[in-house]
Every structure is written in C-alpha cells, then in structure tokens.
Amino acid sequence: MRQPTRTIEWTVEHYILTRSGRRPISTRDAIRALRTVMHDCSLSDRELTDLVAKRAVQRNLDVNFDGYPDPVSEGLRADHERGAPR
C-alpha cells in the first residue's frame, strides 16, 4: 500500500491532534517537531507558528507562543538559510 503524501497542513493537523491532551500547544516544540519530520518545508518559523496557532485555536486549544527553537543548538536550518524573510 502506498503511503499518502504528507502536506504541511496535514502534518500540523496531526501534530495538534496528537497533543490535544497537553495544554497549551508550544510553538517552539511544534516547530522543532515539524522541521524534524518535514526537512524540506519552505515555510518560515513565523509562518509555521501562525499555522500551528490557527489550527490549535480552531480546536479550542491554548497556544504558548514561547518562541522559536535555536537553529544552531537544535541542528535546524535558520530562516535566513531557507531564504525566508525575517
């Protein structure tokens, strides 16, 4: 059976659903998890934060806007390395 193509929207929705019992949804943890799963995501950290917050609020979940993961210590590419505006 072929695995379905994962979009960023699907991945964010899945992330939110699997953390429904954990309140609030941490933007830092969400970005870290999403970048780990979707290495080639072209969205900036800000855009990912907005998408996570939107989906969480739609499900009546609280959001903790606790910043972005540190790309150096986390081993993630920084926004400017992806060409995203700051």
SS3 per residue for 20-84: CCCCCEEHHHHHHHHHHHCCCCCCCHHHHHHHHHHHHHHCCCCEECCCCCCHHHHCCCCHHHCCC
Share of the chain above pLDDT 70, in %: 73
- Note whether residue 14 is domain-resident: yes
Give the separation between CA 75 and CA 9, rounded to whole angstroms: 23
At 20 the pLDDT is 73
- Note whether residue 66 is domain-resident: yes
- Note whether residue 42 is domain-resident: yes
In the structure encoding, which two tokens stand for residue 54, read together? Answer: 């939107």
Count of the separate structural domains present in the chain? 1
- Note whether residue 86 is domain-resident: no
- Note whether residue 82 is domain-resident: no
Domain hosting 30: range is 8-71
Residue 70: band (very low, low, confident or very high) from pLDDT cuts 50, 70, 90: low
- Note whether residue 41 is domain-resident: yes
- Whether the Cβ atoms of residue 76 and residue 35 lie closer than 8 Å to each other: yes
At 86 the pLDDT is 40
Beta bridge partners of 25: 63
At 56 the pLDDT is 94
- Note whether residue 85 is domain-resident: no
- Note whether residue 12 is domain-resident: yes
- Whether the Cβ atoms of residue 56 and residue 18 lie closer than 8 Å to each other: no
The pLDDT of 34-41, averaged and rounded, is 91
At residue 36, does pLDDT exceed 70? yes
Residue 75: band (very low, low, confident or very high) from pLDDT cuts 50, 70, 90: low
